[in-house]
Amino acid sequence: MKLTLKIWRQKNSTDKGGFVTYVADHVSKDMSFLEMLDVLNDQLTERGVDPVHFDHDCREGICGMCSLYINGKPHGPLQTTTCQLHMRSFSDGETITIEPWRAKAFPVVKDLVVNRSAFDRIIQAGGYVSVNTGGAPDANEIPIPKNVADLAMDAAQCIGCGACVAACKNASAMLFTSAKISQLALLPQGQVERKTRAEKMVAQMDAEGFGACTNTGACEAECPKGISITNIARMNREYFSAVVSSDTM
Amino acid sequence: MILDSKIPAGPLAEKWTNHKFSSKLVNPANKRKYDVIVVGTGLAGASAAASLAELGYIVKAFCFQDSPRRAHSIAAQGGINAAKNYQNDGDSIYRLFYDTIKGGDYRAREANVYRLAEVSVKIIDQCVAQGVPFAREYGGLLANRSFGGAQVSRTFYARGQTGQQLLLGAYSALSRQVANGKVKLYPRTEMMDLVVIDGHAKGIVTRNLITGAVETHAAHAVLLCTGGYGNVFFLSTNAMGSNVTAAWRAHKRGAFFANPCFTQIHPTCIPVSGDHQSKLTLMSESLRNDGRVWVPASQEIAEKLRKGQIKANDIKEEDRDYFLERNYPSFGNLVPRDVASRNAKYVCDQGLGVNETGEAVFLDFRYAITRDTREIIEQKYGNLFEMYKQITGEDPYEMPMMIYPAVHYTMGGLWVDYNLMTTVPGLYALGEANFSEHGANRLGASALMQGLADGYFVVPYTVGDYLAQLAPKQVDETHPEFARIKEEVQNRINMLLQINGTKPVDYFHRRLGKIMWNECGMARTIKGLKGAKAEIQALKKEFWSNVKVMATNEELNQSLEKANRVADFLELGELMVDDALHRNESCGGHFREEYQTPDGEALRDDENFAYVAAWKYLGEGQEEELVKEELVFENVKLTQRSYK
Ligand SMILES: Cc1cc2nc3c(=O)[nH]c(=O)nc-3n(C[C@H](O)[C@H](O)[C@H](O)COP(=O)(O)OP(=O)(O)OC[C@H]3O[C@@H](n4cnc5c(N)ncnc54)[C@H](O)[C@@H]3O)c2cc1C
Ligand code: FES
CA–CA gap between residue B126 and residue B138 (Å, rounded): 22
* Selected residues 265-304 of chain B with any CB under 8 Å from a CB in chain A: 273-274, 276-279, 281-282
pLDDT at B263: 97
Start-to-end C-alpha separation, chain B: 41
pLDDT at B383: 80
Q: How many CB atoms lie within 10 A of CB B611?
A: 18
Please say if the pLDDT value at position B201 is more than 80.
yes
Which of the listed residues B382, B407, B432 is the one where a domain comes to its end? Answer: B407
C-alpha torsion sign, points B587, B590, B593, B594: negative
Is B206 part of a structural domain of the chain? Answer: no
- Fold of the CATH domain A117-248: Fumarate Reductase Iron-sulfur Protein; Chain B, domain 2 (1.10.1060)
Tens digit of pLDDT for each residue in B243-253?
999 999 999 99
Q: Mean pLDDT, chain B, as a whole number? A: 96
Which of A25, A39, A49, A63 would you mutate first to test chain B, the one with the most B CBs within 10 A?
A63
Q: Spot the catalytic one: B154, B320, B337, B524.
A: B337
Does the active-site annotation cover B337?
Answer: yes
3-state secondary structure of B6: coil
Query: What is the CA(B73)–ligand 1 centre distance, in A?
Result: 4
A225 and B CB contact within 8 Å:
no
What number is the average pLDDT over the span B348-370?
Answer: 95
What number is the average pLDDT over the span B407-420?
Answer: 98
What number is the average pLDDT over the span A81-86?
Answer: 96
Query: What is the CA(B156)–ligand 2 centre distance, in A?
Result: 24
Residue A28 and residue B274: Cβ atoms within 8 Å?
yes
pLDDT at B599: 81
Is B45 part of a structural domain of the chain? Answer: no
If one residue of B38, B47, B51, B63 were mutated to test the ligand 1 pocket, choosing by the most ligand atoms within 8 A of its CB, it would be B63
CATH class of the structural domain A3-110: alpha beta
Q: From the list A80, A127, A133, which residue is nearest B172 (CB)?
A: A127
Is B74 part of a structural domain of the chain? Answer: no
A84 and B CB contact within 8 Å:
yes
Number of domains making up chain B = 2
Residue nearest to atom 3 of ligand 2 (CA): A61
Taking the CA atoms of chain A, what radius of gyration do you get in angstroms? 20
For residue B230, what is the DSSP state? G
Give the residue from chain A lying closest to B187, CA to CA.
Answer: A117
pLDDT at A186: 98
Query: What is the CA(A28)–ligand 2 centre distance, in A?
Result: 21
- Domain parsing of chain A, residue ranges: 3-110, 117-248
B131 and A CB contact within 8 Å:
yes
Please say if the pLDDT value at position A249 is more than 50.
no
Give the residue from chain B lying closest to A118, CA to CA.
Answer: B67
Q: DSSP of B439-500, one letter per residue?
A: TTSPPTT-HHHHHHIIIIIIHHHHHHHHHTTS-SS---TTSHHHHHHHHHHHHHHHHHHHH-
CATH of the domain at B392: 3.90.700.10
Residue B556 and residue A116: Cβ atoms within 8 Å?
no
Alpha carbon distances (Å) from B449 to B48, B372, B456, B530 = 13, 30, 10, 36
Strands A3-9 and A95-99: parallel
- Chain A residues whose CB is inside 8 A of the B79 CB are none
Q: Which domain holds residue B306?
A: 269-407
pLDDT at A247: 60
Class of residue B102 by CB neighbours under 10 A (exposed 0-12, middle 13-18, buried 19+): buried
- Chain B residues whose CB is inside 8 A of the A105 CB are none
Q: Are B228 and B450 in contact (CB under 8 A)?
A: no
3-state secondary structure of B330: coil
Query: What is the CA(A27)–ligand 1 centre distance, in A?
Result: 31
What are the start-end ranges of the E strands in B335-434?
361-364, 401-410, 413-414, 427-429
What number is the average pLDDT over the span B538-564?
Answer: 97
Alpha carbon distances (Å) from A141 to A196, B128, B129 = 25, 10, 10
pLDDT at B210: 98
pLDDT at B289: 85
Query: What is the CA(B42)–ligand 1 centre distance, in A?
Result: 6
Q: DSSP of B602-620, one letter per residue?
A: B---HHHH-EEEEEE--ST
Which of B51, B52, B74 would you mutate first to test chain A, the one with the most A CBs within 10 A?
B74
Percent of chain A whose pLDDT exceeds 90:
96
pLDDT at B631: 97
Q: From the list B75, B130, B391, which residue is nearest A131 (CB)?
A: B130
Whether residue B384 is found in the same domain as residue B506: no
Tens digit of pLDDT for each residue in A203-246?
999 999 999 999 999 999 999 999 999 999 999 999 999 988 76
Strands B427-429 and B221-224: parallel
Beta carbons within 8 Å of A74's beta carbon, 6+ residues apart = A67, A68, A101, A161, A162, A163, A166, A167, A222
Tens digit of pLDDT for each residue in A101-122?
999 999 999 999 999 999 999 9
What number is the average pLDDT over the span B152-165?
Answer: 94
3-state secondary structure of B136: strand
Give the residue from chain A lying closest to B273, CA to CA.
Answer: A30
Tens digit of pLDDT for each residue in A138-160?
999 999 999 999 999 999 999 99
A131 and B CB contact within 8 Å:
yes
Strands B155-156 and B80-81: antiparallel
Tens digit of pLDDT for each residue in A34-63?
999 999 999 999 999 999 999 999 999 999
Q: Which residues sit opposite B38 in a β-bridge?
A: B61, B223
Q: Which of B206, B203, B204 shows the shortest CA–CA distance to B220?
A: B203
- Chain A residues whose CB is inside 8 A of the B66 CB are 55, 65, 115-117
Residue A196 CB-half CA count within 13 A: 12
Cα dihedral B382→B385→B390→B396 (10° resolution): -140
Whether residue B397 is found in the same domain as residue B518: no
B65 and A CB contact within 8 Å:
yes
What number is the average pLDDT over the span B130-136?
Answer: 97
Task: Show contacts of B181-184: CB within 8 Å, 24+ apart.
Answer: B182/B53, B182/B54, B182/B56, B182/B57, B182/B58, B182/B59, B183/B49, B183/B50, B183/B53, B183/B59, B183/B60, B183/B61, B184/B59, B184/B60, B184/B61
Tens digit of pLDDT for each residue in B429-463?
999 999 989 999 999 999 999 999 999 999 999 99
Please say if the pLDDT value at position A166 is more than 80.
yes
CATH of the domain at B593: 1.20.58.100
A145 and B CB contact within 8 Å:
yes
Please say if the pLDDT value at position B20 is more than 70.
yes
Q: Helix crossing, B505-519 with A33-46: angle to 10°?
A: 120
Tens digit of pLDDT for each residue in B294-336?
999 999 999 999 999 999 999 999 999 999 999 999 899 999 8
B187 and A CB contact within 8 Å:
yes
Query: What confidence tier does B601 reach under pLDDT thresholds 50, 70, 90?
Result: confident
Residue A32 and residue B172: Cβ atoms within 8 Å?
no
